[in-house]
Structure 1
């Protein structure tokens, strides 16, 4: 069941932090050419060697309060933290499996600290859990294998379910469980897992990657945005560079301009945007990443009304390359990403009542007319973009609770 808080939130913070941040994309002089948190799998690091990274996982600069406060300042409404990734290492004090943060110099429980901070700052708290892939457990799934020689049910009963129970009971309430890569889990196993979650926390949402079509919403491919509104709720998990876990070689950061445009595009198509940060082994977030998020936060401070609690609308009948629309009952938000001096739109049925720049309420005039083809049209003149805003958001208050785009006439 999709909860209203999730529908309204639109923008969340993903945090990938684990002992994979220690090698940070390199092992024995070899750089991984894939995402950093997959280094154990991709470079075939033996379990005994990979376990040694725990000794260098210090976390001395990890500050859950600071991170959650920062997420709130950046306009994020929910947070999802990697309680256990595919490497099998639990980022909390698991009683079900000793392979967890208690064996590191860090020793603390970041899940506990983040939960407390989320409660303090009013951020909805979620956890990521790799339910099928577990490269540390001999019976866990691994990419590229079909399960021969493994007793997956043994892993499922002895590690997965007990750890999920810990997370749902010891850190309650968990608003969202973000499962990932179901691999060769059967429909029966996915259903058993879902029923198990709901038996403990009936209001906990479940991501689409639980598998077998049993998620509460669709989780798209990493960094993939649907071309059009797809008619049901979805979430795009995305990176700020090219890796989820910290990679010391990845300095190709995505600009705030591109991320803001992606956020608007996703929301315009009815989805949520879950944007990742990957802390270093000491727990600090790279400065380049924080600067990007600050710029996004500045945009949302003044334009958040055009993002949060908006609703999906029908596709606009024309292809416009300069922007997108978002909507909430009675308000059409026109997002202008190009340096235009006017916006001309056809085929909007609703009558405009009032228009202004959302950032500072600068009033704008909407000139209505009917074209020779019989289509309605709006002409809105814009003032000069002196502040060089990435996205100038026009709010047009309209008649009617529903937005209606007229079809192109033949």
Structure 2
């Protein structure tokens, strides 16, 4: 059976978009190509034979798997998902079924995925692979070729050609990913385009056959998979039902693009992590390394700052459930760990001096700050019989000790009961 428990508890993962498109870095023949770095072949309308030459220039001599995985670990990320093959069709691993890969087609001639597998095992981080199952701009049977239609999501390949591509390339490479690198946490498929329900299910079955605990995300297509993916950078309006994940960027692009300096602040990223956790959604936050193998320092700094916050407040993110109230609070967000001795976590964006919550029926036994667990906060609980209203008030210290988000931990007795 697929193992959902680790994924539900993880809440926070690293996405890595890395491929030979990093050589172009958003440029082609001296001109900037609009949109995303990893889409330079499509948006730049680059012929296959010209794009292939980027492989000969890809030599990431500064790549250090330990450095990358250590960064994910320090950031508090519990899983790492890297592009094994993006839409350009280039395999970033040693693929026996294709010579269009990092070992056979680049001067680097080394399998970076093997290094990442070892580093992830050392750090206790789940290694996961992104694989573009439908779009493949290199294989004639793949979808999404820029010279066949005005948009990538239009079906352009005959059914028999696409079926042949799946059998000749996609399935063999998925098999390789699941048999060459030890236990894999999940396979992250993307943009199903013209794939039919039977083909989507066959990919799910292949993954589960080779590694029964390995998860498959919902972008395998046709409402298949073990959990669902929201849109890129999408934030739901409220708590969601079921298992969901949001893939998100630190700047605008996924793959490295030299002119993208639109970096989100650490505060923005941290509040997105908190907001998504409060809605029951995992946060898969992307980095786009350079062609040399360097994660941009702007990304490193932000992830380390998030990690410093997680070192103190991670309990309010990992293995939590979403806000049980049918509304959000002006002062911040709520996550919960239910149980015989449950905990509410109040993520304070603002610092009002006293925070009040209506509708908590349980008896509160203690309230503290996660950043100062030995100092108990004053708590008052009241009940108004006529209004049938339970009120909880927690007095906060005069000064906010842990910006930009301070977490108040409220411990309560019994199974969580909210009257709202």
| TM-score tier (shorter) | over 0.9
Distance apart, 1:2 and its partner CA = 4.7
Contact kept? 2:3, 2:214, Cα under 8 Å: no
Distance apart, 1:320 and its partner CA = 1.7
Q: Which string of whole-angstrom CA distances, capped at 9 and with x for unpartnered residues, describes residues 146-194 of structure 1?
A: 1245710111000001111111111121111111111110001111111
Question: What corresponds to 1:348 in structure 2?
Answer: 360
Name which of 205, 209, 215 aligns with 2:215.
205
Write the mapping of 1:119-268 to structure 2, written as runs, cut at 5 A: 119-142=121-144, 143-149=152-158, 151-268=161-278
Question: What corresponds to 2:149 in structure 1?
Answer: none
Which secondary structure state, in structure 1, belongs to the residue aligned with residue 24 of structure 2?
coil
Q: CA RMSD in A?
A: 1.4
In structure 2, what is the Cα distance between the partners aligned to 1:400 and 1:33?
55
Q: Which string of whole-angstrom CA distances, capped at 9 and with x for unpartnered residues, describes residues 118-138 of structure 1?
A: 001111111111111000001
Contact kept? 1:21, 1:246, Cα under 8 Å: yes
Give TM-score, length-normalised by structure 2.
Answer: 0.93
Contact kept? 1:2, 1:216, Cα under 8 Å: no
Q: Which string of whole-angstrom CA distances, capped at 9 and with x for unpartnered residues, describes residues 211-246 of structure 1?
A: 111110111100002212221010111110001000
Q: How many residue pairs were aligned?
A: 405
In structure 2, what is the Cα distance between the partners aligned to 1:157 and 1:341?
62
Name which of 328, 349, 352 aligns with 1:337.
349
Q: Which string of whole-angstrom CA distances, capped at 9 and with x for unpartnered residues, describes residues 302-340 of structure 1?
A: 0011111112353x2444222111111210000001132
Change (3 A) 1:317 1:101: closer
In structure 2, what is the Cα distance between the partners aligned to 1:350 and 1:80?
40
Which secondary structure state, in structure 2, belongs to the residue aligned with residue 101 of structure 1?
coil
Contact kept? 1:317, 1:405, Cα under 8 Å: no
Give TM-score, length-normalised by structure 1.
Answer: 0.96
Structure 2 gaps, min length 5: 145-151
Distance apart, 1:33 and its partner CA = 2.2
In structure 2, what is the Cα distance between the partners aligned to 1:335 and 1:270?
15
Question: What corresponds to 2:405 in structure 1?
Answer: 391
Change (3 A) 1:312 1:111: same
